[in-house]
Amino acid sequence: MSKYLNREIVIFFLIVVMMGILLTQAFVTQVLRAEEYRELADDRHVRTYQVPGVRGQIYDRHGNLLAMSTPMVAVEIDPKQIVKNETNYQQLLELLQLSNAQLLQLAKQNKDRKLSFIRYVPSEDLSKRIEALGVPGIYLKKTEHSYQTTYEGIKRQISVKKEHTSLWVNHAEIERFIYTLDRLAQLLNMPVQSLRAKTYANQKRRHMFVKRGLTPDFQQKVEQLRLPHVYLSTEYKRYYPNGESMANLLGYTNIDGLGIEGIELAYNRHLSEQNGKKRVVKDVKGNVINLLGTLTQEQDGHPLMLSLDQNIQYLTYKALKEVMYKHQPKSASAVVLDAKTGEVLAMASLPSFNVNDVSKRHGPGIRNRVIADLMEPGSTIKPFILTKALDEGVIDVDSKIDTGSGFLRVQGSVIKDTSRHGILTPQEIIQKSSNIGTAKVAFMMSAEVQHDLLKQLGFQDGTMTYLPGETNGFLKPVNLWRKIDQATSSYGYGLNLNLLNLARAYTVFANQGKLIEPQMFKMAADEAPVAKQIFSAQAANQMLEMMKKVAAPGGTAPLAMIPGYQVAGKTGTSHKVSGKGGYEENTYISLFAGLVPASNPDMVMVVAIDEPSRGKYYGGLVAAPVFQEVMTHALRLRKVAPDWQELPELPIQPHSNSMKTAQLTQREQR
């Protein structure tokens, strides 16, 4: 009986001992070494890995790429682990009473295959302290080993005894982590001091970008260094093939792929991608060792097909570039619309900037002046006033308007023409751009009718393009109008609008009196444009015929003539407002608005040149040639058939000191 009793006692005792060991181990693991194991778990456990989507591409109306996302490389580090390794390594050196140089020298002297013998560890306590540091490349062994090493030509025999704990190091592994920041900074061409300072400032974080937007060849360069806790990720950088010619229209994105300016900002939500997420297991070096599954599938952004024509845009940009060189203005801008649909075919502003160079994304070039800059449109308003008068029946095409001696006094102010014209028909008022003739026609209507017309034309409203930075026009309330306000507004003073507003208004002459809203997207073949009837078809067509005389010999813009095509248009040259009130004497905005071919307009183009400074400033001399240059090629690109069998000889643009210039400037009005 006692035999069985003794056996039970032994078994019970063993069970108690085993339970005690388990409980002790659990206490050590969960209490005493909890923080240590927490960090180890943080180094190797399930993580969420982000898979980037691709931002939507932008195309022109013919499918040409205007904005695309190209794969790039981002270099990132784990600051917490890098700082921890460097700190623990310094503590190790203090325990060993060695400098970094001394340790590495010993490693070179005593190398045996991958590991190098450093010294024996004299005490168990020191062994535990070294082991607790967990420095990569540091190993403690109890092994009996004899090996031969050669250092600086001298052969040495080293024996290691099993009775003592010995310290071994992996020379290559140590050098990788102690020089991680130095080698990375050298590769990325950045100051190591700033990288080290930034790393230590973020030492509690597990993720920090070092450099982004690197070309894909950097991936192999970084991987070859085999640096611990340095990771690579794929991201996408926006690239704009057309560079400057579309920069202030398309805008750009920031380094995180969010739209900042232009169309990129206006339609950011439509273009934006959604990043996916995957569950992975990573090891202590950050390498993915197992894929557990996909949490969220990445989604690419939606593409945009704009109404723009890449070729017409470039032609417009190029023509404005020539004007900037030739006339040295403050700025130049132009917009081209499809006359029937209102689709924006081109919208260019200068100065511009290299949108693909991040360092250039500042200054005046960012401004899209077509929609952002307000101006007084000058004589380009006159066709609308006379068309309204025709529509109201207060004049007809044969009416005679006496402009007198070229001076008209209204409420103490003097309205004048640049020369004495005498009696003019409506067509001659447009052709010669008579301020007095236009003002007298305006007086035949009430101020309310004229004011309502300017409102209907949208001169104080925005457009349906919804581009960021667009400014609404200004129109003085009619109850504050005096007679002089009615007069000056009839020839384009006392109101403000942007260039796109003006181009929109000119669509009435291409569509039987209907105003067509501008569109930034290519329209479907069966899609009808947004239109509003402003004038009767008869009145609009009568004015279109009158404007043909502007771009003809005897008009104010013969330099807008295009061989084989009839051109209808109107010049404008307005004084700029002074900062002190009133108007500057010698600063102007030169304008030209035109339609071609005039028999059945296909395109509307409006050009504005702000403060030309080379002596010429009239719209017919400065802005009209831009229209002629762009439309000559655009008509061919759009395969528009000629509508004029007679091919008149184009006037040669004269030098400023010639008699021909003097004669032309006498005809040109402000």
Six token digits for residue 312: 């017409």
465 lies in a domain?
yes
Radius of gyration (C-alpha) of the chain in whole angstroms: 39
Q: Which residues contact 310 (CB under 8 A, 6 or more apart)?
A: 60, 62, 64, 66, 242
Number of domains in the chain: 3
Which has more confidence, 602 or 553?
602
512 lies in a domain?
yes
Structural domain harbouring 97: 81-173
Six token digits for residue 367: 């401004």
- The share of the chain scoring above pLDDT 70, in percent, equals 88
Q: Do 307 and 240 touch, CB atoms closer than 8 A?
A: no
pLDDT tens profile 107-146: 888 888 788 888 888 888 898 898 889 888 889 888 777 7
Q: Do 290 and 495 touch, CB atoms closer than 8 A?
A: no
Q: Same domain, yes or no, for 53 and 106?
A: no
pLDDT, averaged across the chain: 87
**Furthest CA-CA distance within the chain:** 145
23 lies in a domain?
no
pLDDT tens profile 219-228: 889 988 888 8
The crossing angle, in degrees rounded to 10, of helices 124-133 and 79-96 is 160
Catalytic residue among 379, 434, 574, 590: 379
| pLDDT above 80: residue 29 | no
Gap between the Cα atoms of 625 and 627, Å rounded: 5
pLDDT tens profile 249-265: 999 999 888 999 999 99
Six token digits for residue 576: 């700029």
Residues paired with 452 in a beta bridge: none
Q: Same domain, yes or no, for 93 and 230?
A: no
Q: Same domain, yes or no, for 465 and 581?
A: yes
Residue 226 belongs to domain with CATH number: 3.90.1310.10
The DSSP symbol for 286 reads S
Q: Do 102 and 94 touch, CB atoms closer than 8 A?
A: no
211 lies in a domain?
yes
Gap between the Cα atoms of 491 and 572, Å rounded: 9
Residue 602 belongs to domain with CATH number: 3.40.710.10
Residues paired with 58 in a beta bridge: 67, 304
pLDDT for res 405:
87
pLDDT for res 559:
95
Gap between the Cα atoms of 489 and 258, Å rounded: 42
Q: Same domain, yes or no, for 413 and 269?
A: no
How many CA atoms does the CB half-sphere of 526 hold within 13 Å? 0
Gap between the Cα atoms of 308 and 292, Å rounded: 46
pLDDT for res 17:
80
Q: Same domain, yes or no, for 73 and 159?
A: no
> Residue 474: which of 457, 494, 491, 490 has the closest Cα?
494
Six token digits for residue 211: 């450099």
> Residue 51: which of 348, 389, 299 has the closest Cα?
299
Start-to-end Cα distance in the chain: 129
Q: Same domain, yes or no, for 63 and 142?
A: no
Q: Same domain, yes or no, for 632 and 574?
A: yes
pLDDT for res 319:
97
Gap between the Cα atoms of 323 and 380, Å rounded: 20
- Domain stop point among 120, 150, 173: 173
Reported pTM: 0.80
Residues paired with 73 in a beta bridge: 214, 234
The crossing angle, in degrees rounded to 10, of helices 180-187 and 217-225 is 160
204 alpha-carbon distance from chain centroid: 34
39 lies in a domain?
no
| pLDDT above 90: residue 425 | yes
Q: Do 240 and 247 touch, CB atoms closer than 8 A?
A: yes
Gap between the Cα atoms of 484 and 503, Å rounded: 26
Q: Same domain, yes or no, for 144 and 210?
A: no
40 lies in a domain?
no
Gap between the Cα atoms of 72 and 83, Å rounded: 27
Alpha helices in 214-341 (DSSP H): 217-225, 247-250, 262-266, 268-271, 310-327
387 lies in a domain?
yes
Q: Same domain, yes or no, for 400 and 529?
A: yes
Categorize the per-residue pLDDT at 289 as very low, low, confident or very high, splitting at 50, 70 and 90: low
Beta strands in 126-261 (DSSP E): 138-141, 145-151, 154-160, 166-169, 208-214, 230-239
Range 54-69 average pLDDT: 95
Q: Do 492 and 380 touch, CB atoms closer than 8 A?
A: yes
Residues paired with 607 in a beta bridge: 334, 592
- Domain stop point among 275, 305, 335: 305
Q: Same domain, yes or no, for 379 and 461?
A: yes
Say whether 379 is catalytic: yes
- Domain stop point among 114, 149, 173: 173
Mean pLDDT lowest for which of 26-35, 135-144, 201-210, 283-292? 283-292
Mean pLDDT lowest for which of 106-120, 169-183, 600-614, 615-629? 106-120
Q: Same domain, yes or no, for 410 and 268?
A: no
Gap between the Cα atoms of 623 and 378, Å rounded: 13
pLDDT for res 365:
93
Gap between the Cα atoms of 591 and 607, Å rounded: 6
The owner of tokens 């702000």 is 610
Gap between the Cα atoms of 119 and 138, Å rounded: 12
Gap between the Cα atoms of 107 and 172, Å rounded: 10
ω into residue 351 within 30 of 0, thus cis? yes
180 lies in a domain?
no
| pLDDT above 90: residue 279 | no
Q: Same domain, yes or no, for 390 and 242?
A: no
Gap between the Cα atoms of 668 and 627, Å rounded: 17
187 alpha-carbon distance from chain centroid: 29
The owner of tokens 């009430």 is 446
